[in-house]
Amino acid sequence: MMKIKPIMTAACAAALVLGAAACGAPTPVSKADMLGTTASDTTETGAATAAVTTVAPTTEAPARRVEDYVITAKERQIAYNGAFQLTGEEPRTSETATARLPELRLDNPDAAAVNAEIHERLDSLFNGYDNNGYVNARADYTAALNGNQILSLAVETRSVDTPNSFFMVYNFNVETGNRLTRDEVAVIAGTTTQDVLGEIIDDINTRCDNLDVSGGMLDQMERSRARSLAQENLDQAQFFFDENGVLNAVYRYYWIAGAENYGALLKTSFVCQLQR
């Protein structure tokens, strides 16, 4: 007899990463459960009475809000007229923008370490705003909660005179409080880290191929391509989910002019496999 090998779906793989029960396991169901009724009562003469319909209580997890897990610890209106990648802004026509510093509201060591890292890297920036100093950099963030379970926080800092973004990315399972690794985030998106890196590689090659250079600049561009595609650079790429469940990747690429390398944001073709 031919044996049929079970196939694990992307959603099942994501469930296993999150510690859920294995997919496809049969659950015993009684006939009464199937019909939504209890057993029939009988009269003294043995005649059956009408079946009594019962409704099982639902046990859905309460809806969570991203605001329950991420707050704005500091917020300032600052002079700034540049673009911003996380919010998809083109160069601003106004002279002011909002700068925000986020803080996680999760009671565990991983979240405490993330908050400490964010404050260490951004407090000096906000202190400059408070002291009315000349600060042309901006910090802001996006946060999203997918599947009522996966919290993603992405922080961007960017200056005006050198339009170069730097990113800090964090993902948590709010049910367990655990911080998720890059590989675990990829699995929740129904894919692998290597597949996501493949899309980053395609994006880097497109940037380089679209640059119209010749002569010595062509050699420089190929060196920049090689440095961008180096494994040690790709290893620094990070993933997070946006509010629509789309897996985003942030990475750095080397270029032929200006700063040595730049931060890039890529919306991949992958999405969170958990119900949002």
Identify the structural domains of the chain with CATH numbers, from first to last. Answer: 64-180 (3.30.565.40), 182-276 (no CATH)
Dump pLDDT digits (tens) for 151-173.
999 999 998 877 789 999 999 99
List, for residues 28-39, the tens digit of each pLDDT value. 444 344 334 333
Phi and psi at 224, nearest 5°, equal -65, -40
Task: Give the confidence band of 239 by pLDDT, cuts at 50, 70, 90.
Answer: very high
Pick from 177, 180, 201: which is nearest to 249 by CA?
201
**258 confidence band (pLDDT: 50, 70, 90):** low
Q: What is the pLDDT of residues 37-96, one digit of tens each?
A: 333 333 333 444 344 444 455 566 688 999 999 999 999 988 888 888 998 887 776 778
- Residue in the block written with tokens 């986020």: 102
pLDDT digits (tens, 9 = 90+) for 171-188: 999 999 999 999 999 999
* Mean pLDDT to the nearest integer, 213-241: 91
Residue range 129-144, pLDDT digits in tens: 887 777 789 999 999 9
pLDDT for 219: 85
In sequence order, what DSSP letters do the residues of 27-75 get, joined into one string?
Answer: ----HHHHHTBPPPPB-TT-PBPPPPB--PPP-PPPPP-GGGTEEEEEE
> What DSSP assignment string belongs to 183-200?
HHHHHHTTS-HHHHHHHH
Q: What is the pLDDT of residue 135?
A: 79
Which amino acid belongs to residue 47? Answer: A
Tokens 């367990």: give the residue.
176
Nearest to 165 by CA among 199, 128, 138, 135: 138
SS3 state of residue 94: coil
Q: What is the pLDDT of residue 22?
A: 41
Tokens matching residue 20: 């859920």
